[in-house]
């Protein structure tokens, strides 16, 4: 919006600076970008912007959190990162917005175009949304009534619609008719859900046992996971190819791919069904998050544990070694954590004191520190932390509505190359039951030309 390109503290009466008292309410991390929701319904984003996932109307990276001007007055109450796209929900007008990489219809706009500024998903207009989950190339939304809409890539049935056809617009998952869904989670090519009754479901790509159904088969519609000792599930999260769930008693269970120790059981063995993480039996788990190959779990008393792939320090414990068992992450002055989000190679945490910390891969600025440096311990993001600048000096994107979206064909910007891990690992002995070579034939990533 023209006129919104000023920093947040510029306006005041009598020439005085009058910065709104804002604080971070919610954080979310994608493949190489990050977002935060601030009080006052403001939203900021930073990191990789090449596919438009930052929503600032251009393809530039941002090394610091930057206010998303296009959504400044839209009443945004939640925001969620996919791998290279982002979705947000406005409660004031019951509207879901999405932007970023559009391949396979993951933005829900009826096409596969990239979008560089937030656009409404027209099919979802008027629905009261409880939660949105974004995976690598697909998204889902749960309504307040417990119905589930899904859209995007569907080559392994991850949309739960009974087919393997991609969906360019949201469609209701009919298999949940009469079942009230509480929470959903999306991985690379699989999806999980917990119902209000405490049942756990899985569907999509299941080669690593990441559906929790006891085998390695795909499912095209949601299938209930066998109950675990009569426990009711209340939380679920997906990593790239593993799944995490928490019961009403605070017990944590993991299943799926474990080549990097991301299941946390002290080994590198895949599990085809939910497996209790006994080492955390004395902790009541209140929040979970799955990264590409790492996992984070938050306890009800504010302690944070991490494990799994740690090449870039994304576990946050001061080294770059993989860890197959949970290790506690330490924060300055023993600050307690109240929210956690895993990106592919980086991690974000919000503490009770109102400080945001980041660590792991920083090559695209996704850590928000103004540089492209990796960190293997939590480092406070000054500009949006209460003990730093306290959201008073965040710049806003200079968004001009006349510019609309800026779209360049992915084929012009990228070459398609095989997954890096196939070449890297396929000739090496693999611990566990799965290997990186066992990926769908069309599982590729894009490299910029």
The predicted model gives 352-369 an average pLDDT of: 98
Predicted pLDDT at 424? 32
Q: List the Cα angle 209/443/79 in 5-degree steps.
A: 80
The matching CATH number, chosen from 2.40.160.40, 3.40.50.970, 4.10.220.20, 2.130.10.30, for 25-448 is: 2.130.10.30
| pLDDT over 90, % of the chain | 81
Beta bridge partners of 305: 297, 328
Predicted pLDDT at 228? 87
Closest C-alpha among 24, 30, 73 to residue 53? 30
Hey, is 246 helix, strand or coil? strand
Tokens linked to 208: 């690593």
Beta bridge partners of 395: 66
Q: Which residue has the tokens 């560089």?
A: 116
Q: How many Å apart are CA 225 and CA 256, to the nearest integer? A: 13
DSSP percent split of the chain into helix, strand, coil, nearest 5: 10, 40, 50
Beta bridge partners of 97: 88, 120
Tokens linked to 300: 């009800």
| pLDDT over 70, % of the chain | 84
Domain-wise residue ranges, the chain: 25-448
What sign results for the dihedral spanned by CA atoms 377, 357, 309, 61? negative
pTM to 2 decimals?
Answer: 0.87
Predicted pLDDT at 226? 96
Phi-psi region of 105 (alpha: psi -120 to 50; beta: other; left: phi over 0): left
Q: What is the pLDDT of residues 328-338, one digit of tens each?
A: 999 999 999 99
Q: How many Å apart are CA 391 and CA 397, to the nearest integer? A: 15
- How many helical (H) and strand (E) elements, i.e. helices and strands, does the chain have? 2, 31
User: For 175, phi and psi rounded to 5 degrees?
Assistant: -65, -20
Q: How far is CA 311 from the centre of its chain?
A: 19
The predicted model gives 80-104 an average pLDDT of: 97
Q: What is the pLDDT of residues 414-445, one digit of tens each?
A: 333 333 333 333 333 333 333 443 433 333 34
For residue 19, what pLDDT band results from cuts at 50, 70 and 90?
A: low
User: For 278, phi and psi rounded to 5 degrees?
Assistant: -65, -30
Q: How many Å apart are CA 357 and CA 392, to the nearest integer? A: 17
Q: What is the pLDDT of residues 298-317, one digit of tens each?
A: 999 999 999 999 999 999 99
Q: How far is CA 80 from CA 76, 98, 242, 345, 438, in A?
A: 11, 10, 19, 17, 28
Q: Which residue has the tokens 């576990």?
A: 315
User: For 412, phi and psi rounded to 5 degrees?
Assistant: -80, -25
Q: How far is CA 166 from the centre of its chain?
A: 21
The predicted model gives 348-377 an average pLDDT of: 98
For residue 358, what pLDDT band results from cuts at 50, 70 and 90?
A: very high
**What does the DSSP assignment read for 374-437?**
-EEEEEE-GGGSTTTTTTSS-EE----GGG------HHHHEEEEE-HHHHHHTTS--SSS--TT
Q: Bigger pLDDT: 167 or 1?
A: 167
**What does the DSSP assignment read for 51-75?**
TSTT-SSS---EEEEEE-GGGTTS-
Q: How many Å apart are CA 403 and CA 58, to the nearest integer? A: 9
Predicted pLDDT at 399? 55
pLDDT tops 50 at residue 10: no
The predicted model gives 57-78 an average pLDDT of: 94
Q: What is the pLDDT of residues 378-396, one digit of tens each?
A: 999 999 999 999 999 899 9
For residue 50, what pLDDT band results from cuts at 50, 70 and 90?
A: very high
pLDDT tops 70 at residue 408: no
pLDDT tops 50 at residue 54: yes
Q: Is 210 exposed, middle or buried (0-12, 13-18, 19+ CB in 10 A)?
A: buried
Across all residues in the chain, what is the average pLDDT?
A: 88
User: For 181, phi and psi rounded to 5 degrees?
Assistant: -85, 135
The predicted model gives 240-258 an average pLDDT of: 97
Q: Bigger pLDDT: 428 or 283?
A: 283
Q: List the Cα angle 193/199/205 in 5-degree steps.
A: 40
Predicted pLDDT at 28? 98
Predicted pLDDT at 421? 39
Q: What is the pLDDT of residues 181-208, one digit of tens each?
A: 999 999 999 999 999 999 999 999 999 9
Instruction: Pick the range with the lowest mean pLDDT from 17-21, 226-230, 258-262, 284-288.
Output: 17-21
User: For 215, phi and psi rounded to 5 degrees?
Assistant: -145, -170
Hey, is 12 helix, strand or coil? coil
User: For 333, phi and psi rounded to 5 degrees?
Assistant: 55, 25
Predicted pLDDT at 368? 98
Predicted pLDDT at 229? 85
**What does the DSSP assignment read for 87-103?**
EEEETTTTEEEEEE--G
Contact 202, 219 (CB under 8 A): yes
The predicted model gives 318-327 an average pLDDT of: 98
Q: Is 34 exposed, middle or buried (0-12, 13-18, 19+ CB in 10 A)?
A: buried
């Amino acid at each position: 919006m023209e006129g919104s390109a000023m920093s947040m503290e510029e306006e005041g009466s009598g020439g005085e600076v009058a910065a709104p008292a804002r604080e971070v309410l919610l954080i979310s991390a994608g493949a190489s970008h990050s977002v935060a929701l601030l009080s006052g319904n403001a939203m900021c984003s930073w990191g990789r912007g090449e596919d438009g996932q930052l929503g600032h109307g251009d393809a530039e990276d941002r090394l610091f959190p930057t206010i998303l001007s296009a959504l400044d007055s839209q009443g945004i109450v939640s925001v969620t990162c996919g791998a290279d796209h982002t979705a947000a929900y406005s409660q004031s007008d019951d509207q879901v917005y999405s932007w970023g990489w559009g391949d396979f219809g993951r933005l829900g706009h009826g096409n596969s175009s990239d979008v560089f500024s937030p656009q409404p998903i027209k099919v979802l207009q008027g629905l009261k949304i409880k939660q949105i989950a974004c995976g690598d190339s697909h998204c889902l939304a749960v309504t307040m009534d417990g119905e589930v809409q899904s859209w995007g890539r569907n080559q392994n049935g991850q949309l739960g619609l009974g087919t393997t056809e991609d969906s360019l617009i949201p469609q209701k998952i009919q298999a949940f008719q009469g079942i009230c869904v509480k929470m959903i989670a999306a991985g690379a090519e699989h999806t999980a859900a917990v119902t209000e009754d405490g049942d756990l479901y899985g569907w999509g790509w299941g080669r690593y046992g990441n559906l929790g159904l006891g085998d390695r088969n795909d499912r095209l519609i949601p299938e209930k996971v066998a109950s675990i000792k009569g426990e009711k599930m209340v939380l679920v999260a997906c990593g790239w190819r593993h799944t995490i769930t928490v019961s009403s008693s605070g017990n944590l269970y993991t299943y799926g791919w474990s080549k990097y120790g991301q299941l946390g059981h002290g080994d590198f063995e895949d599990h085809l069904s939910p497996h209790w993480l006994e080492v955390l039996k004395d902790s009541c788990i209140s929040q979970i998050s799955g990264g590409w190959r790492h996992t984070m779990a938050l306890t009800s008393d504010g302690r944070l544990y991490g494990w799994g792939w740690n090449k870039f320090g994304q576990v946050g414990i001061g080294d770059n070694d993989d860890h197959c068992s949970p290790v506690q992450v330490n924060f300055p002055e023993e600050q307690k954590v109240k929210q956690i989000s895993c990106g592919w190679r980086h991690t974000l945490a919000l503490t009770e004191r109102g400080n945001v910390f980041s660590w792991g891969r920083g090559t695209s600025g996704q850590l928000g520190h103004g540089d492209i440096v990796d960190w293997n311990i939590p480092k406070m993001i000054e500009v949006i932390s209460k003990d730093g600048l306290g959201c008073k000096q965040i710049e806003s994107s200079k968004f001009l509505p006349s510019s609309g979206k800026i779209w360049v064909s992915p084929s012009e910007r990228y070459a398609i190359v095989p997954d890096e891990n196939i070449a890297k690992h396929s000739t090496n002995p693999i611990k566990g039951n799965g290997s990186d070579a066992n990926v769908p034939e069309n599982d590729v990533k894009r490299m910029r030309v």
